[in-house]
Amino acid sequence: MASFRNQLPTSMGGEKIAHVEDYLRSEKSFASGEMAPITLPRADVLKFYLEDGSWFCLRPSGTEPKIKFYFSIKGASEAASTAKLEKIRTELLERIEK
């Protein structure tokens, strides 16, 4: 989680990241460099919003030494959404394995 938090990606799966919500730091970071507060409870969660409206979220497991991922993908069709999901998932896993 620290790796993602300290070096936020600017794109994922070929899509630009519009903004990131960091619930541990209670802040929202926009691609423009602007910041905004988050007024929800603090938690070790990062949520990335892509320019196309898709998003993905990372959080550590509360019971095991692993990171959990959640995805919401927008596409013109189910096949396009599935392809985009696989592209993002693959890129996330490659980044973790570095």
With a cut of 80, say whether residue 44 has pLDDT above it.
Answer: yes
CA angle, 20 then 22 then 23, to 5°: 140
CA atoms within 13 A on the CB side of 46: 20
Which phi and psi (to 5°) does residue 33 adopt? 100, -10
Residue 98 pLDDT greater than 90, yes or no: no
Confidence of residue 20 (pLDDT cuts 50, 70, 90): very high
pTM of the model: 0.92
Q: What is the pLDDT of residues 25-39, one digit of tens each?
A: 999 999 999 999 999
Domain range 2-97, its CATH number among 3.30.310, 3.30.70, 1.10.10, 3.30.750? 3.30.310
Q: For the chain, what are the domain ranges?
A: 2-97
